[in-house]
């Protein structure tokens, strides 16, 4: 475990308040001036099972949930045993080798690597409230004392959390204070080389950042049917709809959601929709209609483990094939995959401009890990110019909605513009929008219109940003990743470089179309692809685009990679290839 960071885990059963306690601790760290990254492990049941919430914090940047564990807050016996036993591995999570805080009624604990610090959680809680979950607040007080966090910072977060509930806030503050003081009277705090500058940081999850990015990008309507993990964006926008001037609609299903979104964009209103893989599967026919009509649309697609219902509360990068091939026939689309919470903000609003600039569907791909974990953000730049792309002028003579152009983009009109009456049809059409397939198909017009639409891809590709890299300049091995694995890959690269292995990373956020510079970046290097699915969907896309030789490192058990785990797997691949 590193001396300049804190890793704490709250563990218990679903319904024990694990997430609430974890979020309060996260906010306490962020308001102490620390950088924070969290990881939310939960089951798809209302009560029971095993849940835990991990928080990593440091004055230095944090890029993943990390390895090691300094403090465990166990809300039940199972939580204590599970997270102090090295033989139980929760998807790669490290067992505790630090301080365990739990109710003193739990006995029979004997790990030699753990410092047991029992506190009478229930007894203290009963002094302040009849609500049994107040014991969590007592435990949080003890945990903050163990880590040397000033109590008043925790008290401020508790008051903000419970402020609208009358005396409840002060009851919880009093309970936390007694837990804090009890720990200091019985045990020694952990000594960590952490600097607390007191500068508060913004704490967001990926879904909230997508919502904020949508607002910053000019969205006026968000239409979606609830489906985790995309629901975090829907919940955020619904809670702040009046504040941000966004109309939020929950229709009867995802088919209605995307069709209403297409209708709004056709009418000139910036609108977007979102879902997970199951909901997106219902949207694919309408997505093709948007491609044929050349109506701009942004879809937020947040992946979870499949197929079908799969693992509803677990993460995966298994929807790339679905999104690449969504709907029948060929039409241009743009696929973006932000790598962290900050990029969720910027790439969502960029997607809204891209959709109008190229008059085509844009899909922003996230996953459960990115959508539902919280991390700190120093600053979000809200200075943004909305670009509606090519628009036809009022009164244009013989307006051709699908005018054939060199860049594939035609001047767009919206209903109500003077003199711009035209057809828009989901059948193949000519420049005026007249159907060319009703009585007799016109092959030449079909070819011309198909080529016009597809030229948008090359127009977009010619102006796309350079692919980002990490420590690649002198690298002999290139690890290519996409989306949310960026942080853990960078930490694995750092760990391998500490061992003298010259490895770097290629970080892909513009998944389709791909930037041609990727092939040049990895030329002459051993290439390893890291992704979270069974078949290596992105790996196959890379091979088809660049005809490169690659080795796949994948994970598909529903949990995110851990830095140490990934570094070990990458090193194993490097050694195996070296022996050949």
* Tens-binned pLDDT, residue by residue, of the chain (580 aa): 688 999 999 999 888 899 999 999 999 999 999 999 999 998 776 666 789 999 999 999 999 999 989 999 999 999 998 898 776 667 778 887 889 999 999 877 766 688 999 999 999 999 999 999 999 999 999 999 999 999 999 999 999 998 877 789 999 999 999 999 999 999 999 988 888 887 899 999 999 999 999 999 999 999 999 999 999 999 999 999 999 999 999 999 999 999 999 999 999 999 999 999 999 999 999 999 999 999 999 999 999 999 999 999 999 999 999 999 999 999 999 999 999 999 999 999 999 999 999 999 999 999 999 999 999 999 999 999 999 999 999 999 999 999 999 999 999 999 989 999 988 889 999 999 999 987 678 899 999 999 999 999 999 999 999 999 999 999 999 999 999 999 999 999 999 999 999 999 999 999 999 999 999 999 999 999 999 999 999 999 999 999 999 999 999 999 999 999 999 999 999 998 776 5
Q: In this structure, are residues 413 and 400 in contact, taking their beta carbons and an 8 Å threshold?
A: no
Residue 441 lies in a domain: yes
Identify whether residues 269 and 158 lie together within a single domain: no
Those residues with Cβ within 8 angstroms of residue 392's Cβ, 6 or more apart along the chain or in another chain: 399, 411, 412, 413, 417, 420
Among 84, 182, 82, residue whose Cα is nearest residue 125 = 182
Could you list the residue range(s) of the whole structural domain that residue 442 is in? Answer: 390-463
**Distances from the Cα of 228 to the Cαs of 68, 151, 278, 286, 507, in angstroms?**
29, 35, 10, 21, 26
Q: In this structure, are residues 294 and 332 in contact, taking their beta carbons and an 8 Å threshold?
A: no
Identify whether residues 48 and 126 lie together within a single domain: yes
CATH number at residue 309: 3.40.50.970
Measure the CA angle with vertex 309, ends 305 and 313; round to 5°. Answer: 50
**Could you tell me whether strands 477-482 and 5-14 are parallel, antiparallel, or unpaired per DSSP bridges?**
unpaired
Residue 142 lies in a domain: yes
Which alpha helices (H) appear in 74-120, and where do they start and end? 77-84
Location of structure tokens 């003199």 = 419
Identify whether residues 122 and 224 lie together within a single domain: no
Identify whether residues 237 and 321 lie together within a single domain: yes
Instruction: Give 351's DSSP letter.
Output: H
Tell me what pLDDT residue 325 has: 97
Tell me what pLDDT residue 441 has: 80
> Hey, how many other C-beta atoms are within 10 angstroms of the C-beta on 447?
10
Identify whether residues 268 and 319 lie together within a single domain: yes
Identify whether residues 411 and 472 lie together within a single domain: no
- Tell me which of 336, 351, 377 is where a domain ends: 377
The model scores a pTM over 0.85? yes
Listed in order, strand segments (DSSP E) in 59-197 are 71-74, 99-103, 115-119
Identify whether residues 68 and 165 lie together within a single domain: yes
Identify whether residues 181 and 310 lie together within a single domain: no
Supply 547's token pair: 């005809």
Residue 129 lies in a domain: yes
Identify whether residues 398 and 340 lie together within a single domain: no
Tell me what pLDDT residue 194 has: 87
Tell me what pLDDT residue 580 has: 53
Residue 385 lies in a domain: no
Domain count, the chain: 4
Chain-centroid distance, C-alpha 241: 21
Identify whether residues 216 and 258 lie together within a single domain: yes
Identify whether residues 364 and 256 lie together within a single domain: yes
Identify whether residues 149 and 75 lie together within a single domain: yes
- Tell me which of 377, 404, 424 is where a domain ends: 377
- Tell me which of 142, 174, 200 is where a domain ends: 200
Residue 281 lies in a domain: yes
Q: Is the peptide bond before 264 cis (omega within 30 degrees of 0)?
A: no
Tell me what pLDDT residue 236 has: 97
CATH number at residue 573: 3.40.50.920
Tell me what pLDDT residue 89 has: 67
C-alpha to C-alpha distance for 76 and 80, rounded to whole angstroms: 7
**Distances from the Cα of 418 to the Cαs of 296, 392, 423, 434, in angstroms?**
21, 10, 15, 20
Among 196, 214, 152, 197, residue whose Cα is nearest residue 177 = 152
Residue 430 lies in a domain: yes
């Amino acid at each position: 475990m590193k001396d300049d960071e804190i890793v704490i885990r709250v563990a218990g059963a679903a319904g024990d308040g694990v997430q609430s306690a974890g979020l309060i601790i996260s906010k306490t760290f962020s308001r102490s001036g620390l950088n924070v990254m969290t990881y939310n492990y939960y089951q798809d049941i209302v009560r029971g099972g095993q849940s835990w919430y991990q928080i990593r914090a440091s004055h230095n940047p944090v890029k993943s949930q990390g390895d090691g564990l300094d403090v465990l807050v166990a809300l039940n016996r199972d939580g204590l045993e599970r997270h102090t036993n090295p033989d139980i591995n929760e998807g790669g999570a490290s067992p505790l080798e630090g301080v365990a805080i739990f109710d003193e009624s739990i006995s029979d604990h004997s790990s030699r690597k753990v410092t047991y610090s029992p506190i009478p959680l229930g007894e203290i809680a009963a002094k302040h409230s009849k609500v049994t979950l107040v014991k969590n607040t007592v435990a949080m007080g003890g945990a903050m004392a163990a880590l040397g966090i000033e109590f008043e910072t925790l008290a401020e977060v508790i008051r903000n959390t419970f402020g609208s509930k009358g005396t409840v806030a002060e009851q919880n503050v009093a309970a936390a204070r007694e837990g804090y003081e009890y720990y200091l009277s019985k045990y020694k705090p952990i000594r960590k080389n952490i600097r607390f500058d007191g500068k508060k940081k913004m704490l967001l999850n990926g879904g909230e950042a997508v919502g904020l990015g949508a607002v910053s990008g000019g969205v006026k309507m968000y239409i979606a049917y609830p489906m985790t993990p995309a629901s975090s964006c829907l919940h955020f926008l619904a809670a702040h709809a009046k504040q941000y001037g966004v109309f939020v609609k929950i229709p009867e299903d995802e088919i209605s959601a995307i069709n209403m979104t297409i209708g709004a964009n056709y009418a000139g209103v910036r609108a977007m929709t979102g879902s997970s893989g199951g909901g997106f599967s219902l949207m694919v026919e309408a997505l093709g209609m948007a491609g044929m009509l050349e109506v701009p649309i942004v879809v937020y697609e947040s992946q979870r483990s499949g197929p079908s219902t799969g693992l509803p509360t677990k993460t995966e990068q298994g929807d790339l094939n679905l999104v690449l091939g969504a709907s029948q026939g060929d039409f241009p689309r743009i696929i973006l995959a932000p790598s962290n919470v900050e990029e969720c903000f910027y790439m969502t609003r960029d997607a809204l401009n891209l959709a109008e600039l190229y008059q085509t569907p844009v899909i922003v791909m996230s996953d459960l890990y990115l959508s539902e974990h919280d991390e700190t953000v120093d600053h979000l730049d809200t200075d943004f110019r909305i670009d509606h792309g090519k628009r036809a002028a009022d009164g244009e003579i013989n307006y051709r909605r699908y005018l054939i152009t060199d860049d594939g983009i035609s001047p767009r009109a919206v209903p109500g513009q003077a003199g711009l009456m035209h057809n828009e049809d989901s059948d193949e059409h000519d420049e005026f929008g007249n159907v060319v397939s009703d009585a007799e198909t016109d092959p030449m017009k079909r070819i011309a219109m198909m080529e016009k639409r597809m030229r948008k891809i090359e127009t977009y590709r010619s102006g796309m940003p350079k692919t980002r890299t990490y420590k690649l300049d002198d690298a002999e091995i290139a690890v290519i990743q996409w989306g949310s694995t960026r942080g853990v890959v960078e930490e694995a690269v750092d760990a391998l470089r500490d061992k003298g292995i010259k490895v770097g990373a290629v970080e892909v956020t513009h998944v389709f179309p791909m930037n041609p510079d990727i092939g040049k970046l990895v030329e002459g290097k051993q290439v390893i692809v890291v992704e979270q699915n069974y078949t290596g969907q992105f790996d196959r896309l890379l091979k088809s685009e660049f005809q490169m030789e690659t080795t796949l490192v994948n994970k598909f058990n529903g949990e995110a990679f851990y830095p140490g785990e990934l570094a070990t797997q990458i090193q194993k691949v490097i050694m195996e290839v070296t022996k050949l």
